[in-house]
Chains A and B, each alone.
Chain A
């Protein structure tokens, strides 16, 4: 699946969609494919302050536990309730229904994230 051009990416295979001062965060299709069947997602709590690059949750596939790294600094304002009962939504639609949480950004668009083009170069390596 193509990496949407309107999202920003990290080298840890997360994506962020910036809409005003809210960033919606998830893992990339490349990441879900590498992990395989996702059976559990542990997300930060609403109200929690999260720092860029911090490990703030886990994504577990049938075979492995992977850390979830947060791409943007801010406060968590919403988590995707679907993932509690249906974590496979991440496999089906990593950039859509499988979104993980939303962060309120204190200072507008964060810097240091990759464009879709840069991210594609990274995963092609």
Chain B
């Protein structure tokens, strides 16, 4: 049974095409995927991300507990910092990729909607018997609205009762947006500047409409999951189920930068150390196709006549003059930038060249670690 976010009626009112995603009926597009992509890169886009699972973690033990389950450091996060992280399995594979937000008295953890059914029982089991870690799920009851794009600040800032214009990338704060209590975070999944607003479900529809009103001058448009997928792919951000999986590790998935091997131990550390040291693992690489035919997830990838892997994500890249781009999961020797590959598109090999990720980086981009 598919669920609806509290903003479902807003999507329908805007003419959205609705598709099932992560157990929810979600807008894939309102007008055109490419138009919405352009809005985010040039101006600003408004996203409903309320399908993502929001968990609250409280207690003295949260940092130490989470550090034992994930690859990145949780305990070293500063107050009001946000940080990308990955829960791993014993084999070093990715159980889910997530964001932690450190608030003064608690933590927010945002997990992929499609993984919520496995993550919630997993987290509960990991916290069982501990009096210093308390978990609460707000999945479906709290909303998440993102405003992303170069004009996001001028849209969001006037509605906030705290200074969000000077907020640093991958930081957050508690305040109010249009009088609604909110956690306001300068995070996103588009490769652009922007904010993610965590609010109570009952406040979300009014805030959604207010943001659209406020964003009129900046030509803010609602943007769907179709645009979001191209934006994140161009920006080199992984999508769970594509670049990361239970059997694709953070190393293989290109997220090795987030693994803090200096941590004393965490689930999957031994496997990841072995994988790193042997350095023979198949890995995610970015490719640019020479022709106009798009690649698709699952297409076979060849190098010198040998099948070396498959496509994981692919799209036309409007930010790169409509070049066809893809991520491929291939043998080590086929993953070096400059390597010539062939992608099997309906029985014909099409030329592609490995390029370094990300495909797209905004001018003022700063790297979060």
Contacts and interface: CB of A to CB of B under 8 A. Distances in A.
A binds B: yes
Interface of A: 36-37, 39-40, 42, 58, 60, 62-63, 65, 84, 88, 91
B293 A40 contact: yes
Interface string B202-216: 000000000000000
A36 B226 contact: yes
A37 B32 contact: yes
15 contacts: A37-B34, A40-B292, A40-B293, A40-B316, A58-B346, A60-B294, A62-B33, A62-B230, A62-B316, A63-B28, A63-B33, A65-B296, A84-B292, A88-B34, A91-B32
A70 to B, nearest CB: 17
A39 B29 contact: no
Which of the listed residues A37, A40, A62, A63 has the most CB atoms from chain B within 10 Å of its own CB?
Answer: A62
Nearest to A65: B296
Interface string B20-40: 000000001100111100000
A62 B346 contact: no
B34 to A, nearest CB: 5
4 nearest CB pairs, A to B: A39-B316, A37-B34, A62-B33, A37-B33
Contact of B32 (A36, A42, A84): A36
B315 interface: yes
Given A36-B17, A65-B296, 4 more contacts: A36-B32, A37-B34, A39-B322, A62-B226
Interface residues of B, number: 17
B298 to A, nearest CB: 11
A64 B226 CA distance: 11
B32 A40 contact: no
Contacts of B294: 39-40, 60
Contacts of A58: 346
Contacts of B292: 40, 84
Nearest to B19: A63
A84 B292 CA distance: 8
A40 B293 CA distance: 6
A42 B293 CA distance: 8
Contacts of B17: 36
A54 B322 CA distance: 30
Interface in B291-313: 292-294, 296
A62 B322 CA distance: 11
B202 to A, nearest CB: 33
Interface in B87-117: none
Contacts of A84: 292
Which of the listed residues B230, B293, B315 has the most CB atoms from chain A within 10 Å of its own CB?
Answer: B293
A7 B230 CA distance: 36
A109 B53 CA distance: 58
Contacts of A42: 293
Contact of A36 (B29, B315, B316): B29
Contacts of B32: 36-37, 91
A42 B291 CA distance: 12
B188 to A, nearest CB: 20
Nearest to A37: B34
Nearest to B227: A62
A40 B345 CA distance: 13
Contacts of B315: 62
Contacts of B28: 63
A5 to B, nearest CB: 28
A39 B315 CA distance: 9
Contacts of B35: 37
A62 B296 contact: no
B293 to A, nearest CB: 6
A84 B316 CA distance: 14
Contacts of B34: 37, 62, 88
Nearest to A58: B346
A84 B322 CA distance: 13
